Amino acid sequence: MDLSYTPEEEEFRSHLREWLAKVLPTLPPKPSPDDWPGRRAYDLGWQRMLYDAGYADVHWEGTPSVRLIFLEETERAGAPYVGANFVGLLHAGPTIAAEGTPEQRARWLPPVLRGEEVWCQGFSEPDAGSDLAALRTRARRDGDDYVVSGSKIWTSHAEVADWCELLVRTHPDAPRHRGISWLALPMDAPGVTVRPLRTLAGSAEFAEVFLDDVRVPVANRVGDENDGWRVTMVTLSFERGTAFVGEVVACRRVLGELAVTARRNGRWDDPALRRRLGRLNAEFRALWRLTQWNVSEAEASGGVPGVGGSVFKLRYSHARQELYDAAAEVLGADSLDLERPWVLDRLSSLSYTIAAGTSQIQRNIVGERILGLPKGR
């Protein structure tokens, strides 16, 4: 068991640190959450800076340790998040890299790395959430095109996306997992309508996407026809892998700030509050160690994140909600004021046990795939 990094990794870290210290002060001001064109420009601009400095492909090419260091250092320095680049860098991109043809990789990957194109993820449908394989959006073959009809929901960043990784049903009579295909849908194609949905935090983070006889070239299919479910599983394992590393670092910083605030406003004198924060310190230290454990495991097994991601996600999503509940205790009545720090974060933390597979679904995965318990009838 070794927690130290190699000299090369330490060198990577110190170069990255220097670079961050140099470029972060030159960033434009952060756009407001409702300014979607502004957010797109800001997130793409940051990706472009990473590209120019040689850090753009760290999620794809770096070893798990290098990725960990990258996420740790960018968060420490207060650098922007992946934001609108999330799907391109962490879902669609890795899927295309793993399953796409050379032409597909050449067409779609460089614009993601250079911060030129935004992707969104069109998986969930009104009647297919946890039970994703129930999806009904239909793609009918017509010459060199598919003609796609149906609707998607909860599509994050749909408003500003150029492309959508879309799951469609290409074989309605096959067993449900074997009739699905993975398509790259251009969001400006005729017949695509995006209707933003406001989240409980007030901003429009996701949208409904209606597809009305949209023509998508067959050449935009990644993987074989009707093999989309397997192609998708590649993406989902990335999503639950190292996606939260930066956030754990951020949570530890927030916890420190909470303690300082509590000392200032007198709540620190309450031993119950103090112990609650002490326990959260233990929690996030442990989650950080679990991250390092999982990263080392991925490194040993060739890089693909395993089901250990479900263990992490279950605990982390809950811990994050606990953190912001503790913040509310520190703030007292101020926790009802949206202008206060942490209040919006508390609201958005509520999505963590739902998005990317609900906690119940994660527990099914752990119970069935790790512990080998039988499926219910």
Partner 1 sequence: MRFQLTGEQEALRGAVRGVLRRVAGAGSSWLVAPRGGAADGYSPAPFPGDARPGDERPRLDRGLWRALGDLGFFSLRLPEADGGAGLGLPEAVLVFEEAGRALVPGPLVATHLAAGQVPGAAEGEVVVAAADGRLVEWLEEADVVRPGAEGALPLRSVDPLTPLHRVPAPAPTDPVAVLLTAAEQLGTAARAGELAVQHARTREQFGQPIGAFQAVKHSCAQMLVRTEVARAAVYAAAVTADRADIAAARLLADEAAVRGARDCLQVHGGMGFTWESEVHLLLKRAWVRSERCGGGTESEELLAADLVA
Q: Which positions touch partner 1 (CB under 8 A)?
A: 1-6, 9, 65, 68, 255-256, 258-260, 263, 268, 271, 274-275, 277-279, 281-283, 285-287, 289-290, 292-293, 295-297, 299-300, 308, 311, 314-315, 360, 362-364, 366-368, 370-377
Residue of 42, 119, 123, 146 interacting with ligand FAD (CB under 6 A): 123
Closest approach of partner 1 to the CB of residue 84, in Å: 31
Regarding 351 and contact with ligand FAD (CB under 6 A), the answer is: yes
Q: Cβ(56)–Cβ(88) under 8 Å?
A: no
Active site residue 239: yes
275 binds, among partner 1, ligand FAD, none (CB under 5 to 8 A by kind): partner 1
121 binds, among partner 1, ligand FAD, none (CB under 5 to 8 A by kind): ligand FAD
Checking 338-343 for CB contacts under 8 A at 24+ apart, the result is: 338/202, 341/257, 342/254, 342/258
What are φ and ψ of residue 208, in 5° steps?
A: -90, 145
Catalytic residue (one of 205, 239, 257, 368): 239
Looking at beta carbons only, is 100 or 309 nearer to partner 1? 309
Looking at beta carbons only, is 28 or 341 nearer to partner 1? 341
Strands 119-122 and 163-169: parallel
Closest approach of partner 1 to the CB of residue 299, in Å: 8
Report the alpha-carbon distance of residue 291 to residue 202 in Å, rounded.
Answer: 31
Closest approach of ligand FAD to the CB of residue 277, in Å: 27
Looking at beta carbons only, is 161 or 262 nearer to ligand FAD? 161
Strands 138-142 and 206-217: unpaired
Regarding 130 and contact with ligand FAD (CB under 6 A), the answer is: yes
Residue of 51, 57, 358, 368 interacting with ligand FAD (CB under 6 A): 358
Using CB under 6 A as the criterion, what x/- string covers residues 135-174 for binding ligand FAD? -------------------xxx------------------
Strands 145-156 and 206-217: antiparallel
Cα atoms found within 13 Å of the Cα of residue 291, Cβ hemisphere only: 24
Residue corresponding to tokens 């064109």: 37
Regarding 244 and contact with ligand FAD (CB under 6 A), the answer is: no
Closest approach of partner 1 to the CB of residue 178, in Å: 25
Looking at beta carbons only, is 22 or 279 nearer to partner 1? 279
Stretch of 50-58, 62-70, 120-128, 264-272 lying at the interface with ligand FAD (CB under 6 A): 120-128
351 binds, among partner 1, ligand FAD, none (CB under 5 to 8 A by kind): ligand FAD
Regarding 121 and contact with ligand FAD (CB under 6 A), the answer is: yes
Q: Residue 222 is inside which H or E element, if any?
A: strand 221-222
Q: Mapped to the 3 state alphabet, what secondary structure does 244-289 carry?
A: CHHHHHHHHHHHHHHHHHHHHHCHHHCHHHHHHHHHHHHHHHHHHH
129 binds, among ligand FAD, partner 1, none (CB under 5 to 8 A by kind): ligand FAD
Comparing CA positions, the residue from 245, 159, 205, 209 lying closest to residue 348 is: 205
289 binds, among partner 1, ligand FAD, none (CB under 5 to 8 A by kind): partner 1
Runs of H (alpha helix) within 77-211: 86-87, 93-99, 102-113
* Dihedral sign of CA atoms 333, 339, 340, 343 in order: positive
Report the alpha-carbon distance of residue 236 to residue 252 in Å, rounded.
Answer: 26
* Dihedral sign of CA atoms 334, 339, 345, 351 in order: positive
Comparing CA positions, the residue from 184, 72, 178, 197 lying closest to residue 126 is: 197
Q: Which residues contact ligand FAD (rule: CB under 6 A)?
A: 121-124, 129-130, 154-156, 205-206, 351, 354-355, 357-358, 360-361, 364
Residues annotated as catalytic (active site), given as ranges: 239
